[in-house]
Amino acid sequence: MLRLTRQADYAIVLMTHFAGAPEKKVQNARDLAKCAGLPLPTVSKTLKALGRAGLLVSYRGVKGGYSLPRPAEEITVAEIIEATEGPIALTECLDTATDECGIEFCCPVRTNWQRINQAVRDALRNIPLSDMATTVTFPPLEKVQ
Amino acid sequence: MLRLTRQADYAIVLMTHFAGAPEKKVQNARDLAKCAGLPLPTVSKTLKALGRAGLLVSYRGVKGGYSLPRPAEEITVAEIIEATEGPIALTECLDTATDECGIEFCCPVRTNWQRINQAVRDALRNIPLSDMATTVTFPPLEKVQ
DNA sequence: CAAAACAGGACTCTCGCGGTCCTGTATGAA
DNA sequence: TTCATACAGGACCGCGAGAGTCCTGTTTTG
């Protein structure tokens, strides 16, 4: 269906939340979950993935949480998607891991597939996170809980 | 994983096959399956979907088969994908059928999602089928079987 | 030292993909 | 006219990835 996974969806929502808040603001998983109306374990899992990918920096301990490591203008939607669901490759052919498409000898379309993938990747790379935060005003935490 | 379904993959391979052959050439499912090295039922299912979407015209009966209804230059990769897996909508939010995302009140990202989808759709709409057939030479049917 | 918060797994359940097959209908050739 | 061919439109089923939860660390603050 050419669908993003839910995790990627959540990731963009959460990242947008960071982009909307003051820079370097540390927010913890619990508050983010409440504000987004999502279950804490799910949010936590997503944030961890973003942390591993370097799209968020994490702070442990009581006053811990996450914050953006760089300005929202320098983070792209493509990065967020790749952080949660791996490299953007529309077909198995292009996943370098599995180059056994079975119909290879009769599948010279393969080289042309690169074109499709590149087009989609470029499209997503050209959308900065800051764009996703425009005209978006999240309600303050107090009003949510 | 932001993957195309296999059917969409097959559809593009098959359509490319038509684009490579002489215009208006009628080809049946059996031969296409053999040449593509794919099982007949699968190929058949895919061709039927393409037919329903108007991307192929079908002819029943003994000398039946399928052929392109218009030049390959006028068919886009986006159309082929949509024919097999429905409208290109990366998130459920955008699928008009289900506008119950549950976190709506806190999800103004929604409007910005349109931007992402539009970008991807445009990217795919800008790739004509004829582009997929360049430098592609399918082996003649005789050599395959 | 205790509580808060992240890290990294394992685990289960469900749903859609994937492939196949069956019945019906149209068409061309013997 | 009859039969073989080929498409039309379903139903059907197994498997695997996605989605969500939970548990056990480790780090940090007060």
Nearest residue by alpha-carbon distance to C1' of D21: A41
Residues on chain B touching A105 (C-beta within 8 angstroms): 37, 139
User: Once rounded to an integer, what is the mean pLDDT over residues B14-42?
Assistant: 92
pLDDT in tens, B37-95: 899 999 999 999 999 999 999 999 999 999 999 999 999 999 999 999 999 999 876 54
Residues on chain A touching B15 (C-beta within 8 angstroms): none
Whose CA is closest to B42, among B50, B144, B81, B17?
Answer: B50
Question: Does some domain include residue B44?
Answer: yes
Closest partner residue to B85 among A1, A13, A37, by Cβ?
A1
pLDDT in tens, B115-129: 899 999 999 999 999
Name the residue with higher pLDDT: A103 or B121. Answer: B121
Domain containing A15 equals 6-132
Q: How many domains does chain A have?
A: 1
The pTM score is: 0.89
Question: Does some domain include residue A139?
Answer: no
The verdict on a CB contact (< 8 Å) between A112 and B136 is: yes
Closest partner residue to A109 among B91, B115, B132, by Cβ?
B132
pLDDT in tens, A22-62: 878 999 999 999 988 899 999 999 999 999 999 999 999 99
Q: Do strands B57-59 and A65-67 pair parallel, antiparallel, or not at all (unpaired)?
A: unpaired
Quote the pLDDT of residue A103: 43
Taking CA–CA distances from A39, the nearest residue in chain B reads B103
Whose CA is closest to B139, among B7, B15, B21?
Answer: B21
Question: Does some domain include residue B1?
Answer: no
Tokens (6 digits) for A112 = 């042309």
| Strand C contacting residues by CB (7 Å) | A 1, 28-30, 44-45, 47-48, 51-52, 58-66; B 5-7, 39, 41-42, 44-45, 59-64, 85
Give which of B13, B38, B98, B144 to mutate to test A binding, by max A Cβ within 10 Å. Answer: B13
The verdict on a CB contact (< 8 Å) between A81 and B2 is: yes
Contact status, residue A43 vs residue A31, Cβ threshold 8 Å: no
Task: Tell me the CB-side half-sphere exposure of residue A46, using CA atoms within 13 A.
Answer: 25
Using CA of residue B126, residue B27, residue B61, residue B47, what is the dihedral sign? negative
Quote the pLDDT of residue A32: 95
Give the C-alpha separation, A31 to A25, whole Å: 13
Quote the pLDDT of residue B108: 55
Taking CA–CA distances from B36, the nearest residue in chain A reads A106
Type of residue found at A29:
A
Any idea of the CA torsion for B143, B45, B129, B1, to the nearest 10 degrees? Answer: -110
Name which of A118-122, B30-34, B141-145 the model is least confident about.
B141-145
Question: Does some domain include residue A92?
Answer: yes
Residue for token pair 């790739």: B127
What is the average pLDDT value for chain B, to the nearest integer?
85
Is the pLDDT at A138 greater than 80? The verdict is: no
Quote the pLDDT of residue B21: 86
Question: Does some domain include residue B17?
Answer: yes
Question: Does some domain include residue A143?
Answer: no
Closest-CA distance, A57 to chain B, in angstroms, reads 22
The CATH number linked to A107 is 1.10.10.10
Quote the pLDDT of residue A139: 53
Q: Which residues contact A8 (CB under 8 A, 6 or more apart)?
A: A80, A81, A84, A85, B2
Query: Which pLDDT band holds residue B134 (cuts at 50, 70, 90)?
Result: confident
Quote the pLDDT of residue B96: 41
Question: Does some domain include residue A12?
Answer: yes
Alpha helices (H) in chain B, listed in sequence order: 6-20, 29-36, 40-52, 77-85, 109-125, 129-132, 141-144
Type of residue found at B145:
Q
Question: Does some domain include residue B61?
Answer: yes
Quote the pLDDT of residue B135: 60
Contact status, residue A135 vs residue A79, Cβ threshold 8 Å: no
Q: What is the CA radius of gyration of chain B?
A: 18
Name the residue with higher pLDDT: B112 or A125. Answer: A125
Type of residue found at A21:
A
Give the C-alpha separation, A24 to A18, whole Å: 9
Give the C-alpha separation, A3 to B140, whole Å: 36
Quote the pLDDT of residue B65: 98
What is the average pLDDT value for chain A, to the nearest integer?
85
